[in-house]
Amino acid sequence: MNYVIDKDSIRLFQADTFDPESILTSGQVFRFGKLENDCWWVATGSEYAIIESLGDKNYIIHTTNPDYFVRYFDLDTDYDAIIKRLNGIEVLRPALDYGRGVRMLKQVLPEVIINFIISANNNIPRIRKSVEKICERFGEKKDWGYAFPSIQSLSVASESDFAEFGCGYRSKYLVDTIARLCTEDILERLANADTVTSRSLLLSLKGVGPKVADCILLFGLGKFDVFPVDTWIARVYREDFGGKESNRERIAKWFVEKFAQDSGYCQQYLFYYKRKDIKLK
């Protein structure tokens, strides 16, 4: 990825493996939107950026913290090399072509944990509304809106607060998990553990099942030897790989055995591609 850092921006040149719409609508994040003139905004933690398209795969990322967004958008990883490596697998090629601009975001772990507990058995518009309401109530006010609250700030939120934000039955899980994150060294342990240990620890948190755990491992901890399986990936397994298994944990294991350390990348390309007909409506 060719880029130059200025004081308040990052300039990307001929970035054919960077597409803001593909990245932001690929199910990794929930605080984003489209502006006029083909621009997109994204809020993450206490940071905010606007991505402006200049045409011909050239972009400017406007932000007061360029170094943060170099890491966030994983700009130092060679996605051309990843796509070239995966392109040898015939069944992946349509997904790689369609989702060439997808990148794996490097996100703030507590935010990912909260977001994906809310995401369980939920839909994206509802998740986004709940997350935004949480930020408005407990996040720090910024020039651009509200930062995502710290775990300490969220520790004063009650089950009724989360219910008011539309979190439903997940409300009690959020209260319990936030309390544990505040009083135990879980975040530190997760940051220093391998995938197996991290998954076990995540599954001990209320509201975290196997799929949510794998999402947190992938999007919050950068563990690529996981394969989150939801309805769309279950369809991929059946329709594109001819799979007969119905248990989603075993489906995830099957994909990881097939794709190994590339599993996280393959999952994201396949997920984004499988949803293309929905996305294009």
Catalytic residue ranges? 211
Count of all residues that appear for the chain in the document: 281
3-state secondary structure of 260: helix
- DSSP code for 48: E
132: nearest Cα among 122, 118, 120: 118
**How many Cα atoms sit within 13 Å of 38 on the Cβ side?**
10
CA distances from 164 to 137, 146, 251, 257, 272 (A): 11, 18, 35, 42, 31
Cα 155 to chain center, whole Å? 23
Are β-strands 47-55 and 58-62 bridged in parallel, bridged antiparallel, or unpaired? antiparallel
227: nearest Cα among 262, 203, 198, 202: 262
Place of tokens 């790989």: 241
Answer whether 249's CB lies under 8 Å from 237's CB: no
Q: What is the CA radius of gyration of the chain?
A: 19
3-state secondary structure of 2: strand
